[in-house]
Amino acid sequence: MPLEPAIESGDRSHTLAPVESVAQISSMLLDTDPTLDPALAEIARATATEGVVLLTNDGTLPLGERTVAVFGRVQVDWFAVGYGSGGDVKVPYIWNLLAGLRDAGVRVDDDLATRYSTWSAENRPVFTANWGQWPHHFPEMPIADAEVAAAASRADTAVVAIGRAAGEARDSILEPGSYYLTPEESALLDAVTAHFDRVVVVVDAGNVMDLSWVVAYGDRISAVLLAWQGGMEGARAVAGVLAGESGPSGKLTDTIALSYEDYPSAPNFGHLDVNVYAEDVFVGYRYFETFAPDRVLFPFGHGLSYTTFDLSTTVTTDAGALTLEAVVTNTGAVAGKEVVQVYTGAPDGALGKPARQLAAFGKTGLLAPGASETVRLTVRLDDLASYDDAGATGTRSAWVLEAGEYPVFVGTDVRSATRVAAFDVPETRVVRTATEVAAPVLPFERLTLARAADGSAVVAHETVPTRTVARADRILTTLPAEIPHTGDRGVDLADVAAGAASLDDFVAQLSDEELSLLARGDVTMDSPLGAAGNAGVLGGVSESLRAKGVPPITTTDGPSGIRLAAYASLLPSGTAFASTWNVPLIEELAALHGQEMLRKGSDVLLSPGMNIHRDPLCGRNFEYFSEDPVVSGRIAAAVVRGVQSTGLAACPKHFAANNQETNRTRNDSRVSERALREIYLRGFEICVREAAPRVIMTSYNQINGVWAHYHHDLATVVLRGEWGYEGTVITDWWIEESADPDFPALADNAYRVRAQVDVLMPGGVKRDGAPQAYADTSILDSLARADGLTRAELQRTARNVLGLALALKPVVDARTLEG
């Protein structure tokens, strides 16, 4: 169960001091020390700052020397993060907006501030103890029109704070207080805009909410700031942007449409049992820029600054890549940062293609007025290929560049990017052949592109290709060879680490029981083998394995911080991370976060979350990055590189197509192979190729009828076979019971091991839908049958897990000695 999120006053009375040695770990794990590394706090604040997106501004921002009346209870009861395992960090402090504004030197109307602070203290937010039933919003403080008028007599500018939250097992809903404004919030905006000439609205959220009211209020609202949930320092960062201490430089990683119904996923989201991904590859801006540009309120990549920039771009092309040099010049009066975004188009062909797709991006450093910086970006032409899952181009199951012209657009958002170059593909070229994976079993109609008589894009539909590959044959032809069993020969895992023995020598010693133990965690969360409050432990879960040198490996929830009994930093949400568009900054933050993991006793951070923002209602979008797989993949790779630079492990999740929280453990994502590869797997592929994560977590849902934790096509064929992944694959916590449809002698964990999903976490099983704190015998039962799981498959899983143990062993051993 999650801890109740800390909603604190934001008065930072805590002394921040660095933890300077591993020797301090024991006291930290006793849950007595609230001090945090000030360097991590500072970069968390910088990240939250760069993740703030300024949507509109008539010049009212920055606030400067004006006296400001702050409305909305969220100024005190700030949503610092979303709900569930991705946000339940025991944090010693959380800034709120009111405290942040005062800290930034903004002259706040004290009478109104006292009114809100007093009322909030007397009307604390109510959190139910039931998982997934936390509030989407907090009811507003009643305020009379006369009080608003009185505030307007004391202050010339109003700031209205509106807050929303969602999270794990808690999708947003199409109701006031979630996706829509409440009547009380609308009444507050009515009153404030009636009495103030300058009104700034701050939206504190982790997910996109309805912003059609921005149009309805028109110039009565002077500025709108989208403050993605920024963790413990988030509200302070937002206040700094409002005050002008820092300029806004965040960019949207999602399209904000005029209405929810405009999103192409809207008809096929929220269903309990099945969601059909009928929009196919036309997700987010890919749909809007192709078919419905007039239904966009704020385009993908949008974000204003307090200054202005000029871009001058040079493009060169060779046989394999585009090289772009964009000279960015600050033409305004204050310092700022800008994001260069590169999009490509594609010719009409056998495969319907979006009008624009993001190909590359880069962010400048802080540019003083008049200063320039050259942003250099490279785009591999092969990365622009489309996946042909039907053979329409003449080659099925292949990445294909169709013949024709590919325009290149450069700018600061998808809509304003202008054409700067083009390259021609003289004839259709197969970039990479693959193999059919995870194809739909049942046909459905997917969206594709057609042209009207005037050449404009119109929506068309076609039937998705269905599965043709026999899974059983694929598996049987690729079963591994067994390592002959030798029994215990005294080979320690340290001997393998030192090169005195091979990993096969070590695995050959292990009994069937020991092999099966490596395929599950230590049965329960908060294992006594790891730091207090851990998510689970794997690896050395038995005395016999530990006697052979296999260390217990402690996992902890992320992505917004380390979820333990000890105090830890609460970091910005995934959406805030991505909205920075700043890969080096995220990597630097993740490296410092890795240092905190070392101090706190975490070996594997269950982060980054990197599923696609397919629909704005998905409750867990705050943990994820974007509707675009390139943004998602590159930001995720930065997190992984940063964490793993400390010698520890990061664990991207949830593999794959976890795009809805409602009934997430039973829901079936029905998606074409093309959309799966181009949209929902693409970010994971980028992350694997660029950062080599040591662990990957599967998702709860089914993909075309097969649960992700049993999905041989995804875990073995794609992840390991095509992408060359060499790490460990773990389940999300607990799995659904199922028998292998092709091999009756395999069920549950034996079925999982055959798929090469290595470890059941936390190690216990579900009975009658409820987690149980004991292990089952499905692996050993199947192993004992002639037609069951083979010992070689179990050895393969053991090798994957022991590879992780070897990678982490120096760090784990050092912690044990120091602690």
Cβ contacts of 383 within 8 Å, gap of 6 or more: 359
Structure tokens at 620: 């867990």
For the cut 90, the answer to whether the pLDDT of residue 644 exceeds it is: yes
Tens digit of each residue's pLDDT (9 = 90 or more) over 366-387: 999 999 999 999 999 999 999 9
Whole-angstrom Cα distance, residue 277 to residue 25?
47
Per-residue confidence band for 817, with pLDDT thresholds at 50, 70 and 90: low
pLDDT, mean of residues 481-487: 97
Per-residue confidence band for 129, with pLDDT thresholds at 50, 70 and 90: confident
pLDDT at 130: 79
For the cut 50, the answer to whether the pLDDT of residue 665 exceeds it is: yes
Tens digit of each residue's pLDDT (9 = 90 or more) over 397-416: 999 999 999 999 999 999 99
Whole-angstrom Cα distance, residue 653 to residue 636?
10
Whole-angstrom Cα distance, residue 305 to residue 227?
14
pLDDT at 771: 86
pLDDT at 770: 84
Bridge partners of residue 713, in order along the sequence: none
pLDDT, mean of residues 336-351: 97
Decide if 212 contacts 186 (C-beta within 8 A).
Answer: no
* Annotated catalytic residue 742: no
If we measure between CA atoms, which residue out of 705, 782, 783, 720 comes closest to residue 757?
720
pLDDT at 769: 78
pLDDT at 87: 85
Q: Among the residues of 692-763, which ranges form H helices?
A: 712, 749-755
Per-residue confidence band for 27, with pLDDT thresholds at 50, 70 and 90: very low
pLDDT at 638: 98
CA dist 391 to 349, 400, 402, 631, Å? 13, 10, 13, 29
pLDDT at 391: 97
**E strand spans, 651-740:** 668-670, 695-697, 702-703, 706-707, 728-730
pLDDT at 639: 98
For the cut 60, the answer to whether the pLDDT of residue 28 exceeds it is: no
CA dist 594 to 170, 185, 209, 393, 574, Å? 29, 40, 32, 46, 16
Sheet holding 107-108, edge to edge: 53-57, 223-228, 198-205, 157-163, 67-71, 107-108
- Does an H or E element contain 685, and which? helix 682-691
Whole-angstrom Cα distance, residue 181 to residue 174?
10
Per-residue confidence band for 557, with pLDDT thresholds at 50, 70 and 90: very high
Q: Among the residues of 743-790, which ranges form H helices?
A: 749-755, 778-783
Lowest mean pLDDT among 77-86, 94-103, 356-365, 683-692: 77-86
For the cut 80, the answer to whether the pLDDT of residue 19 exceeds it is: no
pLDDT at 132: 83
If we measure between CA atoms, which residue out of 808, 819, 451 comes closest to residue 600?
819
pLDDT at 29: 43
For the cut 90, the answer to whether the pLDDT of residue 14 exceeds it is: no
Please indicate, yes or no, whether the overall pTM of this predicted structure exceeds 0.85: yes
Largest CA distance in the chain: 86
Whole-angstrom Cα distance, residue 297 to residue 213?
11
Domains of the chain (ranges, CATH numbers): 52-248 (3.40.50.1700), 285-471 (2.60.40.10), 479-818 (3.20.20.300)
For the cut 70, the answer to whether the pLDDT of residue 641 exceeds it is: yes
Q: Among the residues of 23-131, which ranges form H helices?
A: 25-29, 38-51, 97-103, 110-122
Whole-angstrom Cα distance, residue 426 to residue 363?
33
Per-residue confidence band for 766, with pLDDT thresholds at 50, 70 and 90: confident
If we measure between CA atoms, which residue out of 38, 46, 44 comes closest to residue 14?
38
Lowest mean pLDDT among 124-128, 322-326, 717-721: 124-128
Of the residues 732, 748, 758, 776, which is catalytic? 732
Cβ contacts of 410 within 8 Å, gap of 6 or more: 311, 313, 324, 326, 340, 341, 342, 343, 417, 418, 420
The type of residue at 766 is K
Angle 110-122/145-154 helices, nearest 10 degrees? 140
pLDDT at 818: 64
Mean pLDDT of the chain: 94
The b-or-e profile of 492-509 (16+ CB within 10 A means b, else e) is bbebbbeeebebeebbbb
pLDDT at 3: 31
pLDDT at 31: 55
Q: Tell me the three state secondary structure of residue 212.
A: helix
CA dist 268 to 163, 271, 376, 667, Å? 27, 7, 40, 12
Tens digit of each residue's pLDDT (9 = 90 or more) over 265-296: 999 999 999 999 999 999 999 999 999 999 99
Cβ contacts of 727 within 8 Å, gap of 6 or more: 692, 693, 694, 695, 696, 800, 803, 804
